[in-house]
């Protein structure tokens, strides 16, 4: 736990919240303190977000190059796997995996697209175009 916010995150909005921490001192007292989270949390959280951001960026490049459908980008952006996505949308896994192909994606009907848009919290327009 630390008293000051430490600007270690690459994203400036991170690490700005004060939390409550318990600790145990040598005198046998359990203490409660309010402060910013410590270094090990910061390191591991940054590590996780690095991995997620790499995957999102990779997916974006693929979509732009026409190798994958926008669903791949939004799937990575919401930090889920095809299996999770299948649970969220109620579409079977093999169908979700097929929808990752641009050719198949173009033929999808509005009903299916709406299901995806609802899970990704986007409009249909946004779903079709990745910026």
Partner 1 sequence: MENKKIMIDYKHRQAGHCESGATSNLFNFHGIEMSEPMAFGIGNGLYFSYIPFLKLQYAPMLSFRNLPNTVFHRSMKYLGVDATVIKNFKEPNESMAALDRNLEKGIPTGMQVGVFNLTFFPPEYRMHYNMHNIVAFGKEDNDYWVSDTVMELPQRISHEDLQRVRWAKGAFAPKGKMYWINNVKKELDIKSAVEKGIKKTVYEMIKIPFPLIGVKGIHWLAKDLKKWPKKHGNETASFYLGQIIRMSEDFGTGGAGFRYIYGAFLKEAGEKFNNPELLEASVMMGNAANRWREFTYLGARNCKNRSKPEEDYGKLSEMLHEIADMEKAVYVKLDKIKI
List residues near partner 1 by CB under 8 A.
1, 9, 11, 13-24, 28, 30, 32, 34, 37-41, 43-45, 47-49, 51, 78-81, 84, 87-88, 119, 121
| Closest to 113 (Cα-Cα) out of 91, 94, 83, 80 | 91
CA atoms within 13 Å, Cβ hemisphere of 3? 0
- DSSP states along 45-100: HHHHHHHHHHHHHHHHHHHHTTSS-HHHHHHHHTT--HHHHHHHHT--HHHHHHHT
Q: How far is the CB of 31 from partner 1 (least distance, A)?
A: 9
Least distance between partner 1 and beta carbon 107 (Å) = 26
**CB-nearer residue toward partner 1: 16 or 61:** 16
> Is the CB of 66 or the CB of 90 nearer to partner 1?
90
Least distance CB 23 / partner 1 (angstroms): 5
């Amino acid at each position: 736990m630390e008293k000051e916010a430490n600007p270690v995150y690459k994203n400036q909005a991170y690490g700005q919240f004060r939390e409550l921490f318990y600790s145990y001192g040598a005198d046998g007292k359990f203490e409660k303190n309010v402060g910013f989270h410590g270094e090990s949390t910061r390191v591991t959280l940054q590590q996780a977000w690095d991995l997620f951001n790499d995957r999102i960026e990779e997916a974006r490049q693929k979509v732009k190059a026409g190798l994958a459908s926008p669903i791949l980008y939004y799937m990575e952006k919401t930090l889920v796997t095809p299996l999770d996505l299948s649970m969220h949308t109620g579409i079977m896994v093999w169908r979700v995996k097929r929808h990752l192909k641009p050719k198949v994606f173009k033929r999808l009907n509005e009903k299916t697209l709406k299901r995806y848009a609802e899970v990704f919290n986007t409009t249909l327009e946004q779903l079709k175009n990745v910026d």
